[in-house]
């Protein structure tokens, strides 16, 4: 797939007059078109609902766009729950899919009426002791172990992952929950991440649907929904083919009709908790080249660093880079594109073929709309950037201001020595 920015150099030049680089820019049009396509792909299932994985892009303005397409919020921490509550997402519009959960988070999720998705068998007692009851509707997270394989391709390794219950625990959990008063059940699993294939969801659906049929038969539980969670990926590399969400929806429908309908479970709702797929391609990090360095390698230093986008440093992840205005120039230079952290892994690209980059050039780092800004941190005392929304009408809205030194020092407000900085 050819990688093209959703913003032009002319637009960026205009935007940088008001907002200095680096910043995140999001594409309202792309977010809307994609959310609409997802909704249509699962329209065959009357109860279908996407719970956007808030951790991917925890910005209320962006989540409010998704609300227009019926999306709820998938939360896994206190502040994610608070964010959802703040924008009026409450009750069964929240899926609380946490793990290693602190008591106060269960308590707050229950207070908001969220659907609680239990990660472990032992959390049944922990939850009951914390909130004093077992909710009427509750979900359990399943981990079948082993490796998750599509054809001959190992997609991921659930046997090594900390999430979910074994099959035996899952069946016991349903029985115990029923004995404690639970009436309606959900089933959840997340078995592979960033899958760039239309086969993942249908394969996962088969595992979950067959398990649900068995669960119903053996425990008599009233299974209301099956949550396919996240994991549908995006093509970060230009040589990858994007998923076709219609084909994915159709694939899940086929399995639904093969497995659930004959078992008398044709009223089960399908839920998803997509993060990356909803936002990844519709955000980019815009940064400026501020240095070029010629030593044992050729380096371009930019004004963003791993604090703004951690994925390359953390996972060696590929993010495509467009040098704005030089889209048609030959890729006849090989650069490491770096940030300014005192960490040698602070590189957005290593040995990347790019056109000649000059100081002042604007670089668009693609596909940073999910798990990008959200993973930011403050190493070297670097500050997080602003987030901007490119509206459908071409205007630009500031949806999160850049951090200032005052924000950075705010947690020292208990010390006199930094009082002036905190108040500045």
Ligand X SMILES: *Cc1c(COP(=O)(O)O)cnc(C)c1O
The answer to whether 140 and 118 have CB atoms below 8 angstroms apart is: yes
Nearer to ligand X, 231 or 301 (CB): 231
Exposed e or buried b for every residue in 203-220, given b needs 16+ CB within 10 A?
bbbbbbbebbbebbeebe
The span from the CA of 71 to the CA of 60, in Å, is 13
Q: Provide the 10 A C-beta neighbour count for residue 47.
A: 13
Residue (of 375, 383, 369) closest to 339 by Cα position: 383
Stretch 40-59 residues interacting with ligand X (CB under 6 A): 53, 55-56
Comparison of 209 and 277: residue with beta carbon closer to ligand X: 277
Residues 186, 47: contact at Cβ < 8 Å?
Answer: no
Task: State which of positions 173-202 bind ligand X (CB under 6 A).
Answer: 190, 193-194
Q: How many residues bind ligand X (CB under 6 A)?
A: 18
Two structure tokens written together for 142: 């399943």
Q: How far apart are CA 225 and CA 45, in angstroms?
A: 11
Using rule CB under 6 A, residue 11 touches ligand X:
no
In the bound state with ligand X, the residue whose beta carbon lies nearer, of 34 and 194, is 194
Using the rule CB under 6 A, is 114 a contact of ligand X?
no
Is the Cβ of residue 22 or residue 230 nearer to ligand X in the bound state? 230
Q: Identify the CA nearest to 344 among candidates 382, 312, 385.
A: 312
- Comparing every residue's Cβ against ligand X, the nearest one is 230
Q: Measured from the CB atom, is 142 or 409 closer to ligand X?
A: 142
The reply to whether 156 sits near ligand X by the rule CB under 6 A is no
Question: Min. distance of Cβ 59 from ligand X in angstroms?
Answer: 15
SS3 of residue 423 by DSSP: helix
d(CA 49, CA 228): 11
Among 27, 28, 74, 361, binds ligand X (CB under 6 A): 74
Site string for ligand X, 81-110 (x = CB under 6 A): ----------------x-------------
What is the enclosing helix (H) or strand (E) of 373? none
**Cβ atoms 389, 311 nearer than 8 A:** no
Largest distance between two CA atoms of the chain: 71
CA–CA distance, 408 with 49 (Å, rounded to integer): 38
Q: How far is the CB of 71 from ligand X (least distance, A)?
A: 13
Residue 118 sits in the site that holds ligand X (CB under 6 A): no
3-state secondary structure of 375: helix
Query: C-beta of 230: minimal distance to ligand X in Å?
Result: 2
Give whichever of 74 and 346 is closer to ligand X, judged by the CB atom: 74
| Secondary element (H or E) of residue 419 | helix 419-423
Question: What residues contact residue 370 under an 8 Å CB cut-off, 6+ apart?
Answer: 56, 57, 275, 276, 277, 278, 279, 280, 283
> Binding to ligand X by residue 23, rule CB under 6 A?
no
CA distances for 58 relative to 94, 229, 262, 302, 371, angstroms? 14, 17, 40, 25, 9
Cβ distance to ligand X smaller for residue 302 or 375: 375
Ramachandran angles phi, psi of 397, nearest 5°:
-120, 135
Residue appearing with tokens 């699962």 = 42
Distance of closest approach, residue 378 Cβ to ligand X, in angstroms? 22
Q: Which is nearer to ligand X, 54 or 284 (CB)?
A: 54
Token reading at 364: 């668009």
- Shortest Cβ distance from residue 270 to ligand X (Å)? 14
- Does the footprint of ligand X cover residue 230 (CB under 6 A)? yes
d(CA 24, CA 399): 10
Q: Is 208 in the site for ligand X (CB under 6 A)?
A: no
User: For ligand X, which is the closer residue by CB, 310 or 323?
Assistant: 310
Q: Which of 34, 229, 287, 322 binds ligand X (CB under 6 A)?
A: 229
Interface map 265-304 toward ligand X (x if CB under 6 A): --------xxxxx---------------------------
CB atoms within 10 A of CB 236: 20
Show contacts with ligand X in window 333-392 (CB under 6 A): 370
User: Of the ranges 100-108, 168-176, 202-210, 229-237, which one interacts with ligand X (CB under 6 A)?
Assistant: 229-237
Q: How far is the CB of 4 from ligand X (least distance, A)?
A: 23
| Of residues 16 and 193, the one with the C-beta less far from ligand X | 193
CA distances from 64 to 61, 88, 332, 397 (A): 5, 10, 43, 14
Taking CB under 6 A as the binding criterion, the range among 23-31, 228-236, 254-262, 308-316 that sits at the site for ligand X is 228-236
Interaction site with ligand X (CB under 6 A): 53, 55-56, 74, 76, 97, 190, 193-194, 229-231, 273-277, 370
């Amino acid at each position: 797939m050819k990688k093209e920015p959703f913003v032009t150099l002319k637009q960026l030049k205009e935007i940088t007059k008001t907002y200095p680089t680096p910043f995140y820019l999001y594409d309202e049009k792309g977010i809307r078109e994609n959310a609409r396509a997802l909704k249509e792909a699962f329209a065959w299932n009357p109860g279908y609902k996407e719970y956007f994985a808030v951790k991917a892009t925890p910005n209320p303005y962006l989540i409010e766009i998704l609300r227009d397409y019926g999306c709820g919020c998938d939360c896994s921490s206190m502040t994610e729950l608070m964010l959802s509550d703040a924008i009026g997402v409450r009750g069964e519009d929240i899926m609380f899919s946490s793990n290693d959960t602190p008591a106060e988070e269960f308590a707050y999720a229950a207070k908001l009426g969220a659907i609680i998705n239990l990660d472990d068998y032992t959390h049944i007692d922990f939850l009951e002791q914390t909130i004093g009851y077992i909710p009427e509707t509750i979900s359990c997270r399943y981990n079948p172990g082993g490796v998750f394989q599509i054809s001959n391709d190992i997609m991921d390794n659930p046997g090594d992952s900390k999430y979910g219950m074994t099959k035996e625990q899952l069946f016991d959990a349903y029985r115990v929950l029923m004995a404690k008063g639970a009436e309606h059940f959900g089933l959840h699993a997340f078995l592979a991440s960033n899958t760039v294939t239309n086969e993942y969801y249908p394969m996962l659906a088969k595992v979950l649907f067959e398990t649900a049929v068995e669960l119903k038969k053996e425990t008599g539980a009233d299974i209301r929904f099956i949550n396919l969670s996240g994991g549908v990926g995006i093509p970060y590399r230009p040589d990858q083919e994007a998923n076709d969400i219609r084909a994915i929806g159709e694939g899940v429908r086929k399995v639904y009709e093969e497995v659930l309908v004959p078992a008398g479970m044709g009223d089960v709702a399908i839920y998803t908790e997509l993060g990356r797929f909803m936002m990844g391609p519709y955000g980019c990090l815009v940064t400026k080249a501020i240095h070029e360095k010629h030593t044992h390698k050729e380096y371009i230093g930019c004004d963003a660093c791993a604090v703004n986008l951690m994925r390359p440093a953390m996972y060696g992840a590929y993010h495509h880079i467009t040098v704005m205005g030089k889209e048609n120039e030959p890729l006849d230079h090989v650069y490491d594109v770096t940030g300014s952290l005192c960490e040698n892994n602070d590189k957005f690209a290593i040995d990347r073929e790019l056109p000649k980059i000059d100081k002042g050039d604007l670089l668009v780092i693609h596909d940073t709309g999910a798990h990008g800004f959200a993973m930011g941190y403050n190493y070297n005392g670097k500050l997080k950037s602003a987030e901007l929304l490119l509206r459908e009408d071409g205007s630009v809205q500031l949806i999160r201001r850049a951090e200032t030194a005052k924000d950075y020092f705010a947690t020292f407000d208990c010390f006199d020595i930094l009082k002036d900085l905190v108040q500045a």
